[in-house]
Structure 1
Amino acid sequence: MSRKIIINGRFLIHRVTGVERYAREIVNELDKIAESIKIEMAIPPEVTEIPKYKNIKIVRIGKLNNRLWEHLSLPLYVKRSNAISLNLCNVAPLLSPGIVCIHDVKIKATPQYFSKKFLIWYNLLFSNATLRAKKIITVSEFSKNEIIKYYHVNPSKIQVVPNAWQHYDNVGYDDNAFEKYNLIKGKYYFSMCSLEPNKNFRWIAEVARKNPQMEFAVAGSINETVFADGLGFKCPDNMELLGYVTDEEAKSLMRNCISFIFPTFYEGFGIPPLEAISAGAQSIIVSDTEIMHEIFGDNVNYIDPNNYEMDITKFFNITNEGKKQLLNKYSWEKSAKVLYEFLCTLR
């Protein structure tokens, strides 16, 4: 690789959700093997917690903040440095998108769930990136095929660099969560994710309504400025929305639930079920969709995300061999090596 890579560090100003987790973990692992290539991370002025890297140099640039920094300060710095930007969280500078990781194209596949303002902005970003970016990264073969389908991108332009779960190894358990959220170990079904309508928490609500003797707990929060109709349903009395929970609380709730439920309509990957397996969840329930089969194979329970009549008490537990197979399949270290080799081919 002859040109310097400059990582877009704007993700450091945000609370850690799926795409921010991906960026943080990939960069952590990339730093361990980046000794022989030129990589920097540019960060905006408002970043307060700066990670410590061994090989990746961090530079604070510009006077603008947030989106203006990303679309003006960053590309100007990249141009002056004769470098290529690496953007790991869907968004890339409009002027010079460089290398962009597009995690999914749900704005195309499920546009009905998003506000018009959100759709206009992300359609602009993705159309620009798929047309003008030097290369595109995504997190699964399914997502790669979706990008090709909706944006007609040449497959050779796209590199798959998957998500993983090992960040959960650094998280402890907090059993105080059971008293805090009034839950009894082994007596509840659990789900955790950002409460986007495409995550299909309506399925949990409807199943809970039909099974009033069971308890259902859902962790996460809804951003009503992004999603068109909020949750779009009312929760029954036996379904509790816990709001934001800490990683330690989530890990305990995963380990001690009857089943971890992930009834999503659409994903580019889907980290939470992998996190739940690593935390010790005995049973996993996911949607019967192409991406879930790609990631989890025959080791989990599949449900029709539109069918509320299923008897969830009949689902099987994951075998030890199944857990081992799933957890060995993905790692941040492996993904960083794929990305590193990919970066080394750039000219």
Structure 2
Amino acid sequence: MRIGIDCRQIEKAGSMLAGVEYYTLNLVQNLLKRYPQDEFVLFFEKNNANFLQANAKGACFPFFKAKRFLPLVYSHYLTARFIKKQKLDVFHAPANIIPLGYQGKSVVTIHDLAIYNHPEWFPKQSKFSQNVSVPRSLRKARKIISVSTATKNQIIERFHIDPQKIKVVYEAGNTFLAHLKCNERMPKPFFVRAQLRDQGLGADKRARAKNDEGFKRVINEFILFIGTLEPRKNLVRLIQAFDECLQKLSPEQQNLQLVLAGKRGWKCEQIDRAIESAKYKNNIQVLGYITEEKKQKLLKNCSAFVFPSLWEGFGLPILEAMAAGVPVLTSRVSALPEVGGEGVWYIENPEDTTELAKSLSKLITATPAALQELGNKGLVQAQKFTWQKTAHETYNIYKEVIKNRER
């Protein structure tokens, strides 16, 4: 098969990979590895040699500078004409949108349709994609990959798409902890560690960690959040709930920290104001975007992971936290129960700050045995999701589309 995949999301993100870019990168890497007999055409805007190998060809869109002056023409018609010239058996658009001008056999991955239920969470520049590009891509595609059943149901309900056209293919997480010893993956109970330990850091190394840009003042027990700092992540309520919980703790326990790691998103100023208004604002650290290495350190050393999002198409952050053996508290909304299963604790109504505070307090005051049990359940649940499985199921969809004679 000659398979084309749009890889521009990886290129645009550079080293700051988030959900869609992370999905595309891992899918491509696993497809190339598992199916050497097939030919993959990877579309970029500039030369990218990172993926080039015997079964992969890089194809750079010509005239990409035209998007500055003619963004619609470039994104939907010049690109479509170039894709057509590659004579593909199937084209995969892994980031929600197929170029409007492309008429060949295609597959599109839909990650999230939250913008249709909550447009207030997104910038107005998204209107064209919301009203034109995504609906037409759903109708145009021969098959639609949904990253969760929750998203599939939303596609059916809003766009009246035939359920048989939609296949659920789950994402997976980073497996960086797969080779660690079990005792290195055990959750760290609250209020038993005076300082951050990174596989037995000595005093000199702890001092360096204190000054590290990725950790700042994170030297005590801490609750971790990883994700884009944006309205739907519900961080304003999390900050208020955390502040309420600290007020109820004993003075010696009030060194607990909340660490927010992730790139700044739309309307993140609301989060800044919430921190500034918090009584225990000095216990809240905002690290910004973190490298993979720093993410691993944070996950290995946090006492718990909290993700009170109001809507997720999948829920990659909680999956990676579970894979690290970290106790997870998340919302029972959208796709998060599909990912978390019985391996996490849930906030039933994340829009209720009081309930969020109660759930957070339950986590903070849990016994070491309860936290270890939760972490172990998370490990078991996380093993159900692998990139090898994602690649295999996606490849089978390609074959199904190619065999279908419908034009």
Pair in the same fold by TM > 0.5? yes
Q: State the shift of 1:318 in Å.
A: 5.0
Q: State the shift of 1:340 in Å.
A: 0.8
Q: State the shift of 1:8 in Å.
A: 0.9
1:85 aligns with 2:120: no
Q: Which deviates the most, 9-18 or 261-270?
A: 9-18
- The aligned length equals 340
Tell me the equivalent position of 1:268: 313
Residue type of the alignment partner of 1:154: D
1:346 aligns with 2:401: yes
Residues 125/78 of structure 1: CA separation in 2 closer, same or farther (3 Å cut) = same
CA displacement, residues 119-162 of structure 1 (integer Å, 9 cap, x when unaligned): 34333221111122222111111111111111111111112221
Residues 299 and 322, structure 1, Cα contact 8 Å, conserved in 2: yes
Residues 38 and 55, structure 2, Cα contact 8 Å, conserved in 1: no
1:75 aligns with 2:71: no
Residues 58/49 of structure 1: CA separation in 2 closer, same or farther (3 Å cut) = closer
Name the Cα RMSD after superposition. 2.7
Residue type of the alignment partner of 2:77: L
Residues 110/305 of structure 1: CA separation in 2 closer, same or farther (3 Å cut) = same
Tell me the equivalent position of 2:336: 292
Tell me the equivalent position of 1:332: 387
Residues 71/169 of structure 1: CA separation in 2 closer, same or farther (3 Å cut) = farther
- Structure having the higher helix fraction is 2
Superposition pairs of residues 1-347 of structure 1, within 5 angstroms: 4-15=2-13, 16-45=17-46, 47-48=47-48, 50-65=50-65, 70-83=75-88, 84-96=90-102, 98-166=106-174, 168-169=176-177, 177-180=209-212, 181-185=216-220, 187-212=221-246, 213=254, 214-224=256-266, 227=267, 231=271, 233-235=273-275, 236=278, 237=281, 238-281=283-326, 283-303=327-347, 304-309=349-354, 310-311=357-358, 312-315=360-363, 316-319=370-373, 321-347=376-402
CA displacement, residues 94-126 of structure 1 (integer Å, 9 cap, x when unaligned): 212732111010111221211222234333221
Q: State the shift of 1:230 in Å.
A: 5.3
Residues 325 and 379, structure 2, Cα contact 8 Å, conserved in 1: no
Q: Distance in 2 between matches of 1:135 and 1:129?
A: 10
Residues 112 and 312, structure 2, Cα contact 8 Å, conserved in 1: yes
Structure 1: 5+ residue runs without aligned partners? none
Residues 222/333 of structure 1: CA separation in 2 closer, same or farther (3 Å cut) = same
Residues 44 and 69, structure 1, Cα contact 8 Å, conserved in 2: no
Indicate the SS of the match to 2:290: coil
Q: State the shift of 1:290 in Å.
A: 4.2
Residues 102 and 137, structure 1, Cα contact 8 Å, conserved in 2: yes
Q: Distance in 2 between matches of 1:178 and 1:232?
A: 22
The percentage of aligned residue pairs carrying the same residue is: 26
Q: Distance in 1 between matches of 2:400 and 2:372?
A: 40
Residue type of the alignment partner of 1:285: L
Residue type of the alignment partner of 1:91: I
CA displacement, residues 149-204 of structure 1 (integer Å, 9 cap, x when unaligned): 1111111111222110135359997975554311124x111101011211111222
Residues 31 and 54, structure 1, Cα contact 8 Å, conserved in 2: no
Q: State the shift of 1:280 in Å.
A: 3.8
Residues 301/318 of structure 1: CA separation in 2 closer, same or farther (3 Å cut) = farther
Residues 138/92 of structure 1: CA separation in 2 closer, same or farther (3 Å cut) = same
Q: Distance in 2 between matches of 1:171 and 1:307?
A: 39
Residues 230/94 of structure 1: CA separation in 2 closer, same or farther (3 Å cut) = farther
Structure possessing the higher radius of gyration over alpha carbons: 2
Q: Distance in 2 between matches of 1:161 and 1:240?
A: 35
Q: State the shift of 1:36 in Å.
A: 3.5
Q: State the shift of 1:269 in Å.
A: 0.5
Q: Which deviates the most, 66-75 or 326-335?
A: 66-75
Indicate the SS of the match to 2:108: strand
Q: Distance in 2 between matches of 1:171 and 1:205?
A: 34
Q: State the shift of 1:34 in Å.
A: 2.3
Residues 11 and 44, structure 2, Cα contact 8 Å, conserved in 1: no
Q: Distance in 2 between matches of 1:170 and 1:92?
A: 36
Residues 9 and 43, structure 1, Cα contact 8 Å, conserved in 2: yes
Structure 2: 5+ residue runs without aligned partners? 181-197, 200-205, 247-253, 364-369, 403-407
